[in-house]
């Protein structure tokens, strides 16, 4: 269903309104009546929208459009100098799930200096990775062990675990790394892979114990 012209103009203007509630309603309206003419504006707004819940609605609106219209401009945003543009584009690509976007998920994005961009890249990568490419992806993700705070480390562990048994060689290599922070994170991830119901906090504490004992945990 296409919006009448006057409603289209109102919705596009609404996306720039100072009120976050108005922007939210505008994004909802655009997603309810998708039209390819909205895509560029939605993508542009994702890069600068300050409110999380409005960004989520913008992403939802983009998923309502044909992937052939939404994916190319989102892929273009991955080259933006603005971290939020890269992060939100990755997040939206993961929600669309169009595997043709996979080549755009580069090593540079997976190791991006901005934690939010990297976390979004990890989530997108495990959704879009083609069958058979999981071990290579795991090797790149494993280079990020020990990075950031709790949320970043949990995001990386979740991404690796989502790849299943394909991550085991990369995990085992990291579990013997010279850096204790890398070893601890890798061991915690391996524990979660084996026992996903145990919880991240338990896995971290278990990994700390193993590192203090000076083992890799593979013997247990």
- Domain layout of the chain by residue ranges: 1-128, 132-220
- The whole-number pLDDT of residue 220 equals 46
Q: Which CATH number fits domain 1-128: 2.60.40.2140, 1.10.3720.10, 3.30.499.10, 1.25.10.10?
A: 1.25.10.10
Q: How far is CA 12 from CA 40, 43, 55, 88, 209, in A?
A: 11, 12, 15, 19, 55
Phi-psi region of 16 (alpha: psi -120 to 50; beta: other; left: phi over 0): alpha
Could you say which residues of the chain have pLDDT below 50? Answer: 217, 219-220
- The whole-number pLDDT of residue 42 equals 97
Residue 141 CA to residue 160 CA, distance in Å, equals 7
Helix 150-162 with 134-142: angle, nearest 10 deg: 160
Q: What's the token pair of residue 38?
A: 């909205």
Beta-carbon contacts of residue 100 (< 8 Å; ≥ 6 apart): 67, 71
Q: What does the DSSP 8-state code read for residue 178?
A: S
Residue 118 CA to residue 178 CA, distance in Å, equals 23
- The whole-number pLDDT of residue 129 equals 97
- The whole-number pLDDT of residue 10 equals 82
Closest CA to 142 of 168, 117, 123, 121: 168
- The whole-number pLDDT of residue 116 equals 97
For the entire predicted model, the pTM comes to 0.88
Beta-carbon contacts of residue 190 (< 8 Å; ≥ 6 apart): 171, 172, 175, 217
- The whole-number pLDDT of residue 193 equals 86
pLDDT in tens, 9-68: 788 899 999 999 999 999 999 999 999 989 999 999 999 999 999 999 999 999 999 999
C-alpha gyration radius of the chain: 20
Q: What does the chain come to in residues? A: 220
């Amino acid at each position: 269903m296409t919006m009448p012209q006057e409603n289209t103009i109102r919705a596009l203007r609404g996306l720039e309104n100072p009120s976050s509630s108005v922007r939210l309603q505008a994004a909802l309206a655009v997603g309810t009546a998708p039209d390819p003419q909205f895509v560029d504006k939605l993508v542009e707004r994702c890069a600068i929208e300050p409110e999380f819940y409005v960004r989520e609605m913008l992403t939802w609106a983009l998923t309502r459009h044909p992937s052939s219209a939404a994916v190319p401009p989102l892929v273009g945003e991955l080259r933006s100098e603005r971290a939020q543009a890269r992060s939100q584009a990755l997040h939206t690509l993961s929600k669309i799930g169009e595997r043709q976007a996979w080549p755009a998920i580069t090593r540079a994005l997976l190791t991006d200096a901005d934690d939010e961009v990297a976390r979004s890249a990890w989530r997108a990568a495990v959704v879009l990775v083609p069958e058979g490419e999981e071990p290579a992806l795991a090797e790149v993700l494993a280079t990020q062990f020990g990075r950031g705070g709790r949320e970043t480390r949990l995001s990386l562990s979740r991404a690796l675990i989502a790849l299943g048994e394909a991550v085991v060689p990369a995990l085992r290599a990291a579990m013997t790394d010279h850096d204790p922070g890398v070893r601890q994170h890798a061991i915690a991830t391996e524990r979660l892979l084996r026992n996903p119901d145990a919880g991240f906090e338990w896995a971290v504490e278990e990994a700390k114990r193993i590192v203090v004992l000076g083992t890799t945990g593979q013997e247990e």
